[in-house]
Amino acid sequence: MSKTVMIVDDSTSMRQTVKICLSSAGYDVVEAEDGQDGIAKLDGRPVHLIIADVNMPVMGGIDMVKAIKQMPNYRFTPIMMLTTESDETRKREGQFAGAKAWVVKPFKPEQLLAAVAKLIMP
């Protein structure tokens, strides 16, 4: 059974690329465009990894992590933040909130795949 990854990002091209990249490696991908949308789309479905941008309208990545860590069915789901080098503080905030994995933007598709593979195999 293939693993499901949720990508939460307000950039359509980022979501699309992540989706193409992960699908080609055998993951199922669910897209959401901000934190609120992400939480709404969890909706009981099995999600094995959540990849989330930090900087998003409506609900940013860190608030989303905090919310997910309160959800009994998802509190142990690994969350990977898309951060930037200049956002070291946000990364720490994210880690503190419970997102233990991260990828520094800008990244190449293979870098993302490697990072995802460290958490879940397809």
SS3 call for 54: coil
Site for another protein in 19-78 (CB under 8 A): 20-21, 24, 53, 55-60, 62, 73, 76-78
Task: Mark 89-108 with x for binding to another protein (rule: CB under 8 A) and - for no binding.
Answer: xx-x--x--x-xxxxxxxxx
Q: Give the whole-angstrom CA distance, residue 9 versus residue 33.
A: 5
* Residue showing tokens 């193409």: 20
Residue 94 in tokens: 């994210």
Residue 115 in tokens: 């990072």
**Residues of this chain that bind another protein (CB under 8 A):** 1, 10-14, 16-17, 20-21, 24, 53, 55-60, 62, 73, 76-80, 82, 84-86, 88-90, 92, 95, 98, 100-111, 114-115, 117-121
